[in-house]
Structure 1
């Protein structure tokens, strides 16, 4: 690697807003806020919207979509075409 052209790669805490999961990893991302981790050190924190703690695929809690209501609304709006 050439020196001076790559971003700093260091420890960062990723915190899931919805699931409440936090984990320490390494990344080039940096956060403006910091958090004191379990080991007593302070690390930058990056808030994420979704992770394995809150994603429906991993949790098994799929969102139910009202597809029947959408079809009926489409048919009311545009009618049904026969022939």
Structure 2
């Protein structure tokens, strides 16, 4: 491994738009990262996730072509 070619690995402050912040390590030079979402506000982690059926594509296909359309032999 070559010496002195790797970037410096420093402590970095990550701040989210929701106001949460935490410290991690990164090679970013400024020492700060601004994130739009984090584990404190992301719907998957907070349990407020909604599953949206956007148009029922399978139901539309079955209505258009029938259920047996995909089972040709």
TM range (shorter): 0.5 to 0.7
Q: 1:1-83 residue pairs with structure 2 within 5 A?
A: 3-17=3-17, 19-31=18-30, 44-66=31-53, 69-76=56-63, 78-82=64-68
Q: What is the TM-score of this pair, normalised by structure 1?
A: 0.56
Unpaired segments ≥5 residues, structure 1: 32-43
CA distance in 1, matches of 2:61, 2:7: 50
Unpaired segments ≥5 residues, structure 2: none
* Aligned-residue CA RMSD (Å): 2.8
The runs of at least 4 aligned residues of structure 1 exceeding 4 Å deviation read none
Q: Larger C-alpha radius of gyration, 1 or 2?
A: 2
In terms of fraction of residues, the more helix-rich structure is 2
User: RCO greater where, 1 or 2, for CA within 8 Å and sep 6 or more?
Assistant: 1
Q: What is the TM-score of this pair, normalised by structure 2?
A: 0.61
